[in-house]
């Protein structure tokens, strides 16, 4: 699985060990900084959001030393201020395949498959990101990348027009493609090439206020779905939001209101907890931006363009918690479904208070301390040996032997309770399909005051249909996606092995 991708990744990592090539981590970091600067110029309100998040994070770190210590132990403290994720939408299989190759230069690989069609959003997606702890701590930049499902357009003539429009656009510069090919051939880019690559790759994500389609066609595409118009109607996949990471999303939500930044009504994801899980996110409402549509007819246009507007780009905020196991995800999904069933409506501005009450009550069934989460195998953790515990080396040696040879969960639990091993949460690096759909819908349809407009509707899918969709997505991608749970399991397993190794060294030194 992912053999070609793994080979390219290994070549890049090996070559980066000498001074010949710029590391993919450094290229990714420089790109994320450049992307943030560009988006702040394009959407000034995003800069105000960064300032607010920075203030809230500083207040949390100053007032809650336990959180600060936890972030220091896991290495998250240094990455907090540079944490960003973005989102783009692509129109064709060729675009998706090339974006995979572009992100590979930056050490970013497709993780997870997200089908948003059941939520009425005509795309399926993956998240490009780094996949190991060290790389994530150096630069946690990630991009949620969606591929438009043109097959869901029911109008055959409109589908043909959309397909033709996408066939005529070229979203990558020639220099960017040349540098991608050079990276693949040589196994890396020099520092000068890496910096040039950042500039060329940035052009793919830039906003263009002049469109290659008519206002009339844009209107017909919008009537099918706002996503379709957003993808087909523009020269490239402009970044539609960037997301800083906060340590207190409720404080940011309140801060947006007091500063006149219009927030969406609902914070998506689980309720506020002492031990955050998965992902919570909110955003300020999408901007209504002036757009010039191509007008070949020559009537009432300015320099061949007709004026209009487009609503899609916004600023998002996220609060990340511990990654959940498959057992934890199943419990999360059940409780979230129960809460929404009790509300018996889509969460919105009118029922937000009621929804939060239901959500908090429902999630009382989800343990809210790390020890319980660990013992119930609901979440993933890092392990660290503490060599100043009161336990004797012989007792530690017996417990370690039991835990390793017999796979004894109780022995591991005992070591943790005795203070021999410290656990710290592994941060969730990925996305929630329901949250993603909620964020997108609330911003696409705010002009109409309705989160449900879509001639595509919402549909249920059985497993065979979903599997078929994932296969089609991976075929377009040119590789299979990484399974996020396997990545977290590997991170936890590697951490435990390193912990046992440190304990063995300690025991040997004491028993000699």
pLDDT (mean) for 269-282: 93
Tens-place pLDDT, residues 171-228: 999 999 999 999 999 999 999 999 999 999 999 999 988 888 899 999 999 888 888 9
Look-up of token digits 């949460």: 425
User: Has residue 340 got a pLDDT over 80?
Assistant: yes
DSSP percent split of the chain into helix, strand, coil, nearest 5:
55, 15, 30
Tell me which residue of 88, 80, 105, 84 sits closest to 40, measured CA to CA.
84
Say how far apart CA 196 and CA 13 lie, in whole Å.
Answer: 20
Average pLDDT over residues 107-126: 91
67 contact partners, CB below 8 Å, separation of at least 6: 60, 61, 247
Q: Collect all residues with Cβ–Cβ distance below 8 Å to 194 and sequence separation of at least 6.
A: 21, 22, 26, 27, 30
Residue 82 pLDDT greater than 50, yes or no: yes
Residue 4 pLDDT > 60, yes or no?
no
Of 44-58, 206-220, 242-256, 281-295, the least confident: 281-295
Q: What are phi and psi of 252, to 5 degrees?
A: -70, -40
Task: Please determine, for residue 2, whether its predicted confidence score (pLDDT) is greater than 80.
Answer: no
Q: What angle do CA 181, 182, 188 make, to 5 degrees?
A: 120
- Whether 367 contacts 373, CB under 8 Å: yes
Sign of the CA dihedral running 122, 124, 200, 130 = positive
Confidence bin at 266 (pLDDT 50/70/90): confident
- Rg of the chain over Cα atoms, rounded to whole angstroms, equals 24
Q: What percentage of the chain exceeds 70 in pLDDT? A: 84
177 in Cβ contact with 204 (< 8 Å)? no
Closest by CA position to 176, among listed 99, 246, 112, 119:
99
pTM: 0.86
Identify the top-confidence range among 80-89, 170-179, 407-416: 170-179
What domains can you pick out in the chain, each with its CATH number? 3-319+429-481 (3.10.180.80), 324-376 (no CATH), 381-425+483-512 (no CATH)
Given its phi and psi angles, is residue 263 left (phi above 0), alpha (psi -120 to 50 degrees) or beta?
beta
Is the model's pLDDT at 512 over the cut of 70? no
Give the pLDDT band (50/70/90) at residue 144. very high
The pLDDT of residue 184: 97
Mean pLDDT estimate for the chain: 85
């Amino acid at each position: 699985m992912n053999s070609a991708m793994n080979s390219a990744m290994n070549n890049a990592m090996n070559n980066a060990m000498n001074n010949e090539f710029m590391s993919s981590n450094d290229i990714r970091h420089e790109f994320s900084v450049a992307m943030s600067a560009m988006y702040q110029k394009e959407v000034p309100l995003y800069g105000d959001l960064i300032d607010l998040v920075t203030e809230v994070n500083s207040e949390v770190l100053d007032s809650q030393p336990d959180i600060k210590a936890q972030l220091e132990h896991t290495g998250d403290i240094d990455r907090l201020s540079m944490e960003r994720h973005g989102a783009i939408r692509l129109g064709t299989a060729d675009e998706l395949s090339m974006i995979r190759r572009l992100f590979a230069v930056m050490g970013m690989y497709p993780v997870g498959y997200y089908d948003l069609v059941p939520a009425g959003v005509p795309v399926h997606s993956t998240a490009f990101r780094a996949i190991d702890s060290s790389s994530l701590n150096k630069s946690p930049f990630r991009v949620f990348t969606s591929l438009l499902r043109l097959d869901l357009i029911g109008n055959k003539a409109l589908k043909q027009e959309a397909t033709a429009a996408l066939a005529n656009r070229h979203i990558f510069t020639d220099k960017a493609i040349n540098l991608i090919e050079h990276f693949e051939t040589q196994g890396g880019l020099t520092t000068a090439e890496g910096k040039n690559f950042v500039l060329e790759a940035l052009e793919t994500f830039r906003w263009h206020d002049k469109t290659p389609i008519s206002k009339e066609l844009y209107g017909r595409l919008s009537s099918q779905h706002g996503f379709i118009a957003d993808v087909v109607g523009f020269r490239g996949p402009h970044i539609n939001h960037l997301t800083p990471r906060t340590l207190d999303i409720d404080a940011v939500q309140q801060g947006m209101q007091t500063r006149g930044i219009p927030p969406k009504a609902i914070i998506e994801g689980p309720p506020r907890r002492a031990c955050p899980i998965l992902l919570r996110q909110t955003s300020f409402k999408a901007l209504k931006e002036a757009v010039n549509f191509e007008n070949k007819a020559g009537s009432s246009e300015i320099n061949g363009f007709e004026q209009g507007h487009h609503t899609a780009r916004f600023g998002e905020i996220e609060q990340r918690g511990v990654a959940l196991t498959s057992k934890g995800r199943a419990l999360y999904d059940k409780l979230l479904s129960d809460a929404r069933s009790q509300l018996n409506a889509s969460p919105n501005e009118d029922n937000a208070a009621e929804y939060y009450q239901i959500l908090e009550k429902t999630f009382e069934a989800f343990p809210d301390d790390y020890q319980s989460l660990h013992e119930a195998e609901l979440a993933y953790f890092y392990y660290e040996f503490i060599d100043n515990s009161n336990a004797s080396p012989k007792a530690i040696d017996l417990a370690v032997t039991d835990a390793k040879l017999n796979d004894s969960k109780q022995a591991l639990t005992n070591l943790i309770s005795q203070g021999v091993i410290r656990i710290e949460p592994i941060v969730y690096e990925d996305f929630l399909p329901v949250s993603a759909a909620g964020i997108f819908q609330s911003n696409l349809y705010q002009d109409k005051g309705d989160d449900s407009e879509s001639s595509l509707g919402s549909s249920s899918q059985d497993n065979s249909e979903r599997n078929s969709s994932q296969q089609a997505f991976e075929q377009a991608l040119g590789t299979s996606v990484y399974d996020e749970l396997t990545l977290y399991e590997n991170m936890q397993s590697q951490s435990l092995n390193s912990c046992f190794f440190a304990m063995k060294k300690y025991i040997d030194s004491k028993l000699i």
